[in-house]
Structure 1
């Protein structure tokens, strides 16, 4: 029996004000509860959120069911090589016995009789011995006669055993069983990586939204203070009503923005619960904070082989100045370096050729599919091998004119009242070898082998495509992360400047040497800088997740 393993080509796709060189990292994971809580508040670190999602996400549960199904399928195939035992029994009522025409003339000659003469009678009466002679009658031709064989009631019970001794397809199927199970596990790993990516991004989005909401609350409080002081100044006659009205408009706009941020934060939490497979009614408390468990962005830049915009990861620094000496211009050298980077995909010399494709689960999955394709080819080639099966059977058959007589179960020692044997059940048994040798199947096996070879070649071509795709993802994720770090540096510098401008403007306004319009403009610029900064933080976090996925490190982080 052929066992074909068919596979598919599967390829699978807010930090606090801590400074420009830090990114959020994961705190030490703690053990998840055995069962999800239904009341109270669930504390969640990023690692806990990922762990919970891997254990409870419905899509992953479905994937694991598919993995269990694959294991069961492997068990089914293995069972075909074990002894096959069958027990059966039949009972039939032949209410109309089938008749067959029989040539009764084939069983003997014609009729015969004995002739007595008067002399024979006289001799017998005289006490003499008389030898009678038999005279054959002429043969009379008889037509075939309809005769019914068997009795009305019949029964049969037997047990049969068969054992596969040799089948090339089965032996190759045993080798493929382990590879087939491994493929299902890798597909589950791929699904876990996707879930970890989704949960991480949702968690970061919630952190950013929550931190921005807290910042807006502080902005409203600070603006309330300015409005209160301006109102007192207006009542004292040292400010205009227009100044107060401008601040009220500014505050109203800020409150509306705060309300929108509150709803967006709630939506972010709902998205996080959805990605985790958690009930929307369950309250959660994010335990990772924006100022805790941070990673130096300068170290991240060194891993990427790049420096910051000005001095290697320290930030933007001062405003650029002209070269100190005429000979200090290195434009030509820099252009040559930029050209080399462009030709190498933006990778530094130390990173060229350092991509390990085996870190990507997609590459490992494709290798498993290639192994299965090779086994499938061998399996179809093995269809030309002989197949040998050992079989045996033992049982009893019985018949009787009535149902009650059939169930009397009389054996060979049974006798009736006249002393004649009246056995109604008879045993039988057999043992044998069955050898089947395929000779010609209309070239069917030839075309099956041809299909397997083409499938194998398709997978081999897929390796090159996958490598190119991984190279592109690596370059894209690296470029995106570098750009996000540069934007973060820029936005942090802008935030520092906007914060300082707003602080100085408020001091000037309180001292009576600044205008209310300057305060409003400075506060508006500050909020814009804050929004851009938090957006830059989120972009860096998402780019870091994408980078970890592209390099195959995300799954290792999930399994910590």
Structure 2
């Protein structure tokens, strides 16, 4: 029986420890999952979604959005009734005294009693005594203390804002401020999407290059084995075998470097996602799928040529600069500058671009709205401010602290029948009207600063438009060039692969030299490196193009 009981306790303890460990490994809501031994399968969309939910910098930005929401509540609270309750207790251990001119109250009176009055009174007669004014000696002002040693009061006050121009404008600005915080969060999300996509593509390219290097080593090992066997039969020189061994050693070192770079790319991806470095991951997307997206984008871009400026052929030719008229050089310079900053795009292409697709543009619009509300708020400072107030409370005093807390009301009397009330109530209601008359031109200069800030933002729109136009033209050109380079490097890779294959066949058949094989293998590795570099450039240029057109985050949400 004891053994069975001990076994039951042991099983219960083990079960409790297992449950405790499981709970310790369970992530809290909104917290990145703790690293586990099981690999996490990640597609590009899954990696982006994970980063949008767990990236620490993005979560901090969302906290700023919550702060903006709380700020809106703070501004609205100013228009709600303000209720305050106060209580005070004071021990006037040394009462304050005030000088009082007691002489100002005049002389004193006395009753005059004569001998005749005494005689008449003794005879049983009624005597009317008269009052006479007695002059007093002048007395200097005397120090008199008013109040009692212990005093207390308690009160409740209520105020309600009835009219304040600044408050009404503040309500509008609060909503705009909250919208600005949301746009800043969206801007941070776009940056995270860009970083994760580039890191994911970098890992895909590094992984594909590592796999290709592994196949190269395997192929070179086969060639080295065959050459070594041929050398033992006396058909090739030892120098040929040594050259292949040197080639293989260099390739193995390159493979090791590629392995470390791949691990570094994975670590960078985990960092951009907000994923613990201890968590193993498996990338499920392939480069072929990414290339399909890039090629489809190239169809929309069109082929690069001098007639379309590497843009859509339906937009027409690139506008040529008009011949100098010699009449208005400033206007001509302005047109040249505008043409350069817009990427020399046709006017219909510039008109077709929607600047509102860029979060920077809508953010600047929100800042402009805030600047306008700030200007109106400064001007509203000249309006009157009306507040309704009400208060009710009690105050009391006594010589002793115990008597102060007796709380005697108006019906209280002492033993002799005299009233001894020590607490008295008070109350008031009213309106408070504040009319600003002159503040030393403070409001004037505040309005001036707000107007300048608004004008500064308006000037920023033109700069932002030009910057967006330049980014649009630059991303279009960069992506088109990258695709052209990729096509060229792909053709070079196919040629180098074919040359290396023919060189190996010729060497095995005894009609080619070992040096020719080594040169062909070197050219093949160089072509492979250039191809994957061009492939990575295309993928990065694709991300930059999507960001320039404002489609990066929209594609992610799809």
Residue of structure 1 aligned with 2:60, choices 59, 62, 65: 62
Taking the aligned partners of 1:33 and 1:173, their CA distance within structure 2 comes to: 33
* TM superposition shift of 1:506: 1.8
- 1:429–1:65 Cα change, 3 Å: same
- Tell me by how many angstroms 1:172 deviates: 0.3
Which structure 2 residue ranges, 5 or more long, are not aligned? 1-28, 311-315, 322-338
Query: In structure 2, do the counterparts of structure 1 residues 121 and 215 end up closer, same or farther at CA, with 3 Å as the change threshold?
Result: same
Q: Distance in 2 between matches of 1:130 and 1:370?
A: 99
Structure 2 residue aligned with 1:81, among 70, 79, 82? 79
- 1:25 counterpart residue number: none
Deviation of 1:299 after TM superposition, in Å, equals 3.2
State the shift of 1:415 in Å: 1.1
Q: TM-score, normalised by structure 2?
A: 0.86
1:395 aligns with 2:393: yes
Is 1:166 aligned with 2:170?
no
**Separation in 1 of the partners of 2:34 and 2:286?**
23
After superposition, give the CA deviation of every residue in 1:443-495 in whole Å (9 maximum; x if it has no partner).
Answer: 11111101111000000000000000000111111110000000001001111
How far apart are the structure 2 equivalents of 1:357 and 1:34?
36
Residue 508 of structure 1: CA displacement? 1.9
Are residue 355 (structure 1) and residue 353 (structure 2) matched?
A: yes
Alignment partner, residue 458 of structure 2: 460
Distance 1:555 1:506 in 2: 49
Compared CA separation, residues 216 and 136, structure 1 to 2 (3 A): same
Corresponding residue of 2:110: 113
Distance in 2 of aligned mates of 1:368 and 1:517: 67
Matched, 1:235 2:232: yes
- Find the partner of 1:494 among 492, 495, 502: 492
Q: Give, in whole Å, the separation in 2 of the partners of 1:295 and 1:53.
A: 24
Separation in 2, partners of 1:338, 1:161: 71
Q: How many residues align?
A: 503
Alpha-carbon spacing, 1:236–1:135, altered in 2? closer, same or farther (3 Å): same
Equivalent position of 2:241 in the other structure: 244
- CA distance in 2: counterparts of 1:85 and 1:276, whole angstroms: 48
Higher RCO, Cα 8 Å, sep 6+: 1
Q: Which moved more, 1:282-291 or 1:210-219?
A: 282-291
For 2:134, the equivalent position in structure 1 comes to 137
- Residue 340 of structure 1 and its aligned partner are, at CA, apart by 4.8
Counterpart contact for 2:318–2:346, Cα < 8 Å:
no
Q: Report what 2:415 is aligned to.
A: 417
* Structure 2 counterpart SS, 1:552: coil
Pair 275,366 (structure 1): closer, same or farther in 2 beyond 3 Å: same
Superposition RMSD in Å: 2.2
Q: C-alpha separation between the residues in 1 aligned to 2:201 and 2:293?
A: 17
Equivalent position to 1:306, from 300, 303, 307: 303
Residue 474 in structure 1 maps to residue 472 in structure 2: yes
Is 1:269 equivalent to 2:266 in the alignment?
yes
> 1-side partners of 2:250 and 2:546: how far apart?
39
Aligned structure 1 segments of 4 or more residues deviating by more than 6 angstroms: 341-344
Check 1:347–1:132 CA distance in 2 against 1; reply closer, same or farther (3 A cut): closer
Tell me which moved more, 519-528 or 364-373: 519-528
Question: Which residue among 99, 102, 116 is the counterpart of 1:101?
Answer: 99
CA distance in 2, matches of 1:392, 1:256: 86
Kept in 2, the 8 Å contact 1:301–1:307? The answer is no
Kindly indicate whether the alpha-carbon contact (under 8 Å) linking 2:319 and 2:344 is maintained by their aligned counterparts in 1: no
- Quote the offset at 1:337 in angstroms: 5.3
SS of residue paired to 1:97: coil
Q: Which residue of 2 aligns with 1:331?
A: none
Residue 30 of structure 2 contacts residue 53 of structure 2 at CA under 8 Å; is this kept in 1? no
Matched, 1:156 2:153: yes
- Structure 2 distance, partners of 1:79, 1:191, is 30
Query: Is residue 254 of structure 1 aligned with residue 255 of structure 2?
Result: no
Instruction: Give 1:184 deviation, angstroms.
Output: 0.8
CA–CA separation in structure 1 for the residues paired with 2:183 and 2:213: 45
TM-score by length of 1: 0.86
2:33 and 2:399 map into 1 onto residues whose CA distance is: 70
Inter-CA distance 416–125: structure 2 relative to 1 (3 Å threshold): same
Gaps of 5+ in 1: 1-31, 314-335
Task: Describe the shift of the 1:33–1:147 C-alpha distance in structure 2 as closer, same or farther (beyond 3 A).
Answer: closer
Deviation string for 1:28-76 (max 9, x for gaps)? xxxx998524212111111111122222222112212222222222221
The SS at the match of 2:351 is: coil
Q: Cα distance 1:134–1:339, how it changes in 2: closer, same or farther (>3 A)?
A: closer
